[in-house]
Amino acid sequence: MALSLAAPRRALLLWRGPLQQACYYGLGIVLMKGLSLFMLPVFTAYLVPAEYGRLEVVLALSGLCSLLIGFGLSEALYRYAGLATSQAERQTVMRNVFSLSLLLGLFFGLPLLAMAEHIAALLPGRASAFEVRLLLLAVTLEGCIGIPLAWLRMCDRARQFFWLSVSKVAVQALLTFYLLANGFGVTGVLLAGTFSALLLAGWLFFDCWRQFGLGLDWRRVPELLSYGGPMMVSGFAGFILAGLDRLWLAAELGEAGMAPYALACKLALACGILMQPFALWWYPRRFALLQEANGHQRAAQLAVLGSALALLVSGTVGLVAPLLILWLTPGDYHQAIVLLPWLMLAMACKHLAELLNLGCYVDRNSQLQMHINVATALLAVFAYMLWIAPYGVLGALWAMLLCYALRLLLFFVLSQRRLYLPYRLLPLFLVALLAVLMTLGGQWLAAGVER
């Protein structure tokens, strides 16, 4: 009997640490990134579709600017600190990356703030210069927030990550509710986000200053930028696939016409948020794992495990989200229900591409993934031009799905050529079938409730 229990006990000990870390990371990131989801009933109660559409237009701008200011440095930190051979070397990498991120924040953030009026005029809809300034101020703090949080994940300081996340979310949620209830509208939502970002950035800045100090080895800058730059370009390509569509639709259909699509996209983001417990543990460690004994086998197993989770999460969101839309939002937003199956399929392709692509990241540069992302982004722009004007929201969905599916195929094939990993794909096909049935079940339940 003792012998028969030895293997399960060893497995439990092996996974206990990662699971504990994943739980802390998961709760923290669900709170931080899921705040907009938790607040959806509040947003839709206080904001009419035109205002909600305007909020989504401004938030889409934040995704674009944060890519520019972040410059892919969190991925550079994972890459160079993850492969460092000593703690002193890892801390040196962190000090350089953190200092460089602060410089980039000033270099890009200050000119963007100065151009807020011109940026507001270029956006579709009626965003004000003050709203754009609030958003840009929060984005400028990306270096003070993103890099230290990435370091906490690398150092397994999950408890601290969790409490910092809880503190930010509590301040932002309470202030958002207060400002919306007092008639501040979209401006109130942005003001709450900026204030909470200032508090978190200040705390993390002084924590990093105390641990590492500030200092930049200029000889390391080309290496960091050469790795982070293509990652930034890849991020811009990702924005085209999931961000530019909302701006394009707002210009074609107006803010109110785009609002149900924006709501469906927001709920689809729950797939990524629910995957964060696994992703936040896996991504910073995947390079170091390859260097361990039997590392290729274990990396393949973990990537397949994450892919199966991604599919199940997509199916679960597809099952539950239609009912949430019916129960928690006014009737003006219920058109979002029929859009969800397309978005669930696109999100599944997106996450599979990010989990089955390790071979594309093992080189000392990130050119290959940049080329893949840029190619699919250019295809998306062409598809938007071709399909959004005549088909509206459906055209945007078709374009997104086509590009995510092609991206998955390219990443998988080229990754396996660079670094073959023994993936077991049959279980993934079975889980994918289950996810499709769950999503269709969500549509059936919603139709039944409406009747």
Q: Which among 197, 146, 132, 149 is positioned nearest to 169, based on CA atoms?
A: 197
Q: Which among 40, 277, 310 is positioned nearest to 180, based on CA atoms?
A: 40
pLDDT class of 434 with cuts at 50, 70, 90: very high
User: 126-152: b or e for each residue (b if 16 or more CB lie within 10 Å)?
Assistant: ebbeebbbbbbbbbbbbbbbbbbbbbb
For residue 15, pLDDT beyond 50: no
Angle (nearest 5°) at CA 384 between 382 and 386: 70
What mean pLDDT is predicted for residues 204-225? 86
What mean pLDDT is predicted for residues 135-158? 82
State which amino acid sits at residue 323. L
Q: Which among 245, 251, 259 is positioned nearest to 399, based on CA atoms?
A: 245
Question: What does the pLDDT read at residue 77?
Answer: 85
For residue 247, pLDDT beyond 90: no
Q: Which of 7-16, 193-202, 319-328 has the lowest mean pLDDT?
A: 7-16
For residue 9, pLDDT beyond 70: no
Residues 289, 307: Cα–Cα separation, whole Å: 18
Domain limits, the chain = 20-450
What mean pLDDT is predicted for residues 104-130? 88
For residue 165, pLDDT beyond 80: yes
| Helices 158-181 + 142-154 axis angle, to 10 | 140
Question: What does the pLDDT read at residue 22?
Answer: 63
What mean pLDDT is predicted for residues 85-104? 85
Residues 187, 191: Cα–Cα separation, whole Å: 6
Q: Which among 31, 30, 40 is positioned nearest to 324, based on CA atoms?
A: 40
What mean pLDDT is predicted for residues 143-151? 83
State which amino acid sits at residue 195. F
Question: In percent, how much of the chain has pLDDT > 70?
Answer: 91
Question: What does the pLDDT read at residue 289?
Answer: 77
What mean pLDDT is predicted for residues 321-334? 89
Question: Do residues 63 and 239 lie in contact, with contact meaning Cβ atoms separated by under 8 Å?
Answer: yes
For residue 332, pLDDT beyond 50: yes
pLDDT class of 26 with cuts at 50, 70, 90: low
What mean pLDDT is predicted for residues 113-134? 88
Q: Which of 43-57, 105-119, 257-271, 283-297 has the lowest mean pLDDT?
A: 283-297
End-to-end CA distance of the chain: 56
Question: What does the pLDDT read at residue 2?
Answer: 47
For residue 34, pLDDT beyond 90: no
Question: Do residues 298 and 304 lie in contact, with contact meaning Cβ atoms separated by under 8 Å?
Answer: no
Kindly report the backbone phi and psi dihedral angles of residue 242, in degrees, each rounded to the nearest multiple of 5, phi listed first.
Answer: -140, 75
Q: Which of 17-31, 170-184, 211-225 has the lowest mean pLDDT?
A: 17-31
What mean pLDDT is predicted for residues 159-167? 84
Q: Which among 3, 95, 27, 7 is positioned nearest to 273, based on CA atoms?
A: 27
Residues 299, 423: Cα–Cα separation, whole Å: 9
For residue 107, pLDDT beyond 90: no
For residue 365, pLDDT beyond 80: no
As given in the structure block, the two tokens for residue 441 are: 């079940």
For residue 12, pLDDT beyond 60: no
What mean pLDDT is predicted for residues 107-135? 88
For the chain, the three-class secondary structure string (H helix, E strand, C coil) is CHHHHHHHHHHHHHHHHHHHHHHHHHHHHHHHHCHHHHCHHHHHHHCCHHHHHHHHHHHHHHHHHHHHHHCCHHHHHHHHHHCCCCHHHHHHHHHHHHHHHHHHHHHHHHHHHHCHHHHHHHCCCCCCHHHHHHHHHHHHCHHHHHHHHHHHHHCCCHHHHHHHHHHHHHHHHHHHHHHHHCCCHHHHHHHHHHHHHHHHHHHHHHHHHHHHCCCCCCCCHHHHHHHHHHHHHHHHHHHHHCCHHHHHHHHHHHHHHHHHHHHHHHHHHHHHHHCHHHHHHHHHHHHHHHCCCCHHHHHHHHHHHHHHHHHHHHHHHHHHHHHHHHHHCCHHHHHHHHHHHHHHHHHHHHHHHHHCCHHHHCCCCCHHHHHHHHHHHHHHHHHHHHHHHHHCHHHHHHHHHHHHHHHHHHHHHHHHHHCCCCCCCHHHHHHHHHHHHHHHHHHHHHHHHHC
Question: What does the pLDDT read at residue 1?
Answer: 45
Total residue length of the chain: 451
What mean pLDDT is predicted for residues 283-291? 74
Question: What does the pLDDT read at residue 296?
Answer: 83
Q: Which of 28-42, 161-175, 236-250, 258-272 has the lowest mean pLDDT?
A: 28-42
As given in the structure block, the two tokens for residue 426 are: 């049959």
Q: Which among 77, 24, 146, 98 is positioned nearest to 287, based on CA atoms?
A: 77
Q: Which among 48, 60, 36 is positioned nearest to 192, based on CA atoms?
A: 36
Q: Which of 15-19, 52-56, 373-377 has the lowest mean pLDDT?
A: 15-19
pLDDT class of 364 with cuts at 50, 70, 90: low
Average pLDDT, the chain: 85
